[in-house]
Structure 1
Amino acid sequence: MPTQQLDYFTSLVAEDDHFPLTEAAIAVAQHAYPSLDVQGVLDRIDQLSNKLKERITPDTSPMQRLQMLRHFFYTELGFGPNQNDFYDPDNSYLHQMLENRRGIPISLAILMMELGQQINLPIRGVSFPNHFMMRISLQQGEIIMDPLTGESLSKNQLQEMLDPYLDAKGYRGELSLPLNIFLRASSPREILSRFMRNLKMIYSEHERWDRLLGVQERLVILLPNSFEEIRDRGLIFAQLEYVRPAIADMLQYLKEVPGAEDAAEIREHIATLESQTKLH
C-alpha cells in the first residue's frame, strides 16, 4: 500500500502548473494514517466553503469577502493555535486540524488559502522567517495576515518579528536586508516543502525514525534536485538498519555533491555500514 501512496503523491507534485497544494498537504498524512481518505477530507473542506459561498453575492467586494472569511474561520469555526502542544505532529495534518480546529501557521494558512480560492479571494502564502504568513492583494493595498489569529500586521510589527532573525544571521548594518524581500509570495512547492520540513524537524527531535522516513521519502519526491534530502533519507535508513538503501542514498549524494562539506563524515557512515554488512 505505501508504494501506491507514494505513486499518488508523486503524481500530485509532478509539475508546478496546476499544483494541488491542499490535496498534496492532506496526502502527506498518509504516511502516518495509511487508511486516510484524501477525497473525503477535500469533501469536508468543500462543505465548509459551501457554507461561506451561500453568504456571498457577485456584489460582495474583496475586502468584504476577506472580513467574512476571517469571521467564519476564526470566530465561527474557532480555528487557532494549539497552545497546549504546539509541536504535536497532528497540528500539521489537515484532517486532524479539521477535527480539532488547532494548527500551526502554515497548516492554518493552507486551509485559509483553499477557502479563499473557493470564494474568489486569492490569498498567497509567504515563507516569512520563523512564522508563516498570508498575503492578500486588495485595491486598498497589500495585507499581510497572521494565520494563527487572522490579524493584519503592520510593517513595524513585521520588522519587529524579523529583527531577531536578521541578528541571528548577521544581516545587519551594510548587510541589512529590506523587509520586502521576506514578504514575497511563495510557490506551492515551496510552501509544501516548508510544511513537510516542519514535520521532519518534529520527528527528528523525537527520533521517530519510521514516521520520519515517511516524510523524508515524500521530500525526496517533492524536491528531486535537493540532494541533501537524499542524504537525509540515507541517514534515516541507517537508523532503521536498512543498510543497503542507506549506502545507496549516501553514495548518490557523494556522487552528486562531491565537494560537500560533510563528505568525509558521510564516507565514514558508509564505511561503518559496509563493515556491518560484512559482519552479518
Structure 2
Amino acid sequence: MTTLFTLPDWSALAGLDDDQIPLLGSALLIAHDEYPELDPAACNAMVEAHVASLREEVTTIDSAPLKMQAINHRLFDELGYAGNHDEYYDPRNSYLNEVLARRLGNPISLAVVQMEVARRLGVPLDGISFPGHFLVRLPVDDGVLVMDPFNRGRPLNADELRQRARPHFGEDVPDEALMQILDPAPPRAILVRMLRNLHALYAENGDWARSVRCADRILRLLPDNADALRDRGLGYSELGHSIGAARDLARYLQTNPEAEDAEAIRHRLVEQGVRRQPLH
C-alpha cells in the first residue's frame, strides 16, 4: 500500500511551530518552485527505500553511534551519496529531488537526507547551522557526536570544530561558545539556510527572478526577516518592479534605520523614485 505524501503549503508554513514543519516535504517544496513537475511521493519513496534497506540491520544494533555508522556506510559508501566538490555552486546541489536522483549535494541537502533516514530508523539525528558548512549531531552519553555529511559523514572532534569556527568567531572559541554553535537547528532555520544559499547563488549570477523568489520564500517562513526584505527589494529593483522595490526597501529602513547599508539603500530608494517619475 502506497502512503500518500504531499507537499505542505507556503502560506501555512509561517503559522506552524518548528516541531510541526515537515522537513522533507518543505525541502521538496523549495525544489517544487524550480521543478514544478517533481513527484513528491516518488522522492519520499526513495528515502523510504533507503530506510527499508537498513531497518533489519539497524534494529539489531544497540548503540546509537554504531547505528549511525551503519546508516552512513549505506548512504555514502554503498548508495554513493557524496558532496559535490567539483561543482559546489551548481544549484542542483540544493534541490532535494536532484540530490536524491544524482546522489550529489551540498552539506545541508545531504544532511536533510541523512536526518530523514536516521530519524525514520529511530536515530535522533539533528542538523547544526554551523558557520561555513552545515553539520549534523547525534546525542551520546557524554555529549554529542558531530559529523560532516559533505565528507561522507566523517566525525569531527572538538579541536577541528574550533578550527572551523575561528574564521567566524576569532582565535578564541571557548567551550560555551562552541556548545552554543552546536545547538540543534530547527526545521525553519534549515529551510531558511537552504533558501539563503540559493539566493546568494542566483544573485551572484544576476538571476534576479530566482533570487527574488528565494527571498520571498524566506519571508513566507520569517515574515519580519530584515535581510530577506532588503534582498527582495533589491531584486525587484533590478527587475524594474519599482513599486515592489520601494515598498520593501522603505520597510527595511523603517525597521533597520541604523543598518550598515542604510545609506546605500536610501540611495537606491531615491533612484526608484526617479525611475517612477512620468516622462514629459
Q: TM-score, normalised by structure 1?
A: 0.88
Look up the match of 1:12.
13
| Cα gap change, 1:174 to 1:75, in 2 (>3 Å) | closer
| Structure 2 CA distance for partners of 1:212 and 1:202, relative to 1, 3 Å | same
For residue 103 of structure 1, report the CA deviation from its aligned partner: 0.7
- Which residue of structure 1 aligns with residue 137 of structure 2? 135
TM-superposition CA deviations, 1:44-101 (whole Å, max 9, x none): 2222222222434366442332121011111111111112201101001110011111
Aligned to 1:260: 259
How far did 1:182 drift?
2.0
User: Helix, strand or coil for the counterpart of 1:185?
Assistant: coil
1:28-57, CA deviations, whole angstroms, 9 ceiling, x for partnerless residues?
Answer: 122222222333322322222222224343
Task: Among all aligned residue pairs of Structure 1 and Structure 2, give the percentage whose two residues are the same amino acid.
Answer: 33
Q: Is the 8 A contact 2:95 2:109 kept in 1?
A: yes
Equivalent of 2:163 in 149, 160, 163: 160
Shift in Å at residue 141 of structure 1?
4.4
The 2-side partners of 1:212 and 1:22 are apart by 22
Residue 228 of structure 2: aligned partner: 229
- Within 5 Å, give how 1:2-81 maps onto structure 2: 8-15=9-16, 16-57=18-59, 60-81=62-83
Q: Shift of residue 9 of structure 1?
A: 2.0
8 A contact 1:32–1:214 mirrored in 2:
no
- SS where residue 11 of structure 2 aligns? helix
Separation (CA, whole Å) in 2 of partners of 1:254 and 1:165: 27
CA contact (8 A) 1:9 1:28 kept: no
1:206 Cα offset (Å): 0.9
Tell me the distance in 1 between the aligned counterparts of 2:26 and 2:66. Answer: 29
Taking structure 1 as reference, are residues 59 and 163 closer, same or farther at Cα in structure 2, changes over 3 Å only?
closer
C-alpha separation in 1, matches of 2:268 and 2:168: 33
Deviation of 1:192 (Å): 1.6
Change in Cα spacing, 1:260 to 1:67, as seen in structure 2 (3 Å) is closer
Q: Distance in 2 between matches of 1:210 and 1:252?
A: 21
Q: Report if the CA contact (8 A) 1:31-1:211 is conserved.
A: no
The change in CA–CA distance for 1:265 and 1:163 in structure 2 (over 3 A counts) is closer
Unaligned runs of 5+ in 2: 1-6
- Give distance in 1, aligned partners of 2:62 and 2:174: 45
State the distance in 1 between where 2:81 and 2:174 align.
39
* Cα pair distance change 1:26/1:129, threshold 3 Å: same
Residue identity in the other structure for 2:88: F
Shift of 1:176: 9.7
Cα deviation, residue 117, structure 1: 0.6
Give the superposed CA RMSD. Answer: 2.4
Cα offset for 1:159? Answer: 2.0
Alignment partner of 2:146: what SS?
Answer: strand
Q: Go from structure 1 to structure 2 and tell me whether the alpha carbon gap of 1:112 and 1:173 turns closer, same or farther (over 3 Å shift).
A: closer
- CA separation of 1:252/1:7 partners in 2, compared to 1, >3 Å: closer, same or farther? farther
Contact 1:13 1:222 in 2 (8 A): yes
The aligned residue for residue 213 of structure 1 is 212
Structure 1 window deviating more from structure 2 (33-42 vs 115-124): it is 33-42
- Are residues 1:198 and 2:200 paired? no
Q: Supply the distance in 2 between the matched residues of 1:246 and 1:47 (Cα, whole angstroms).
A: 45
TM-score by length of 2: 0.88
Are 1:273 and 2:272 matched, yes or no? yes
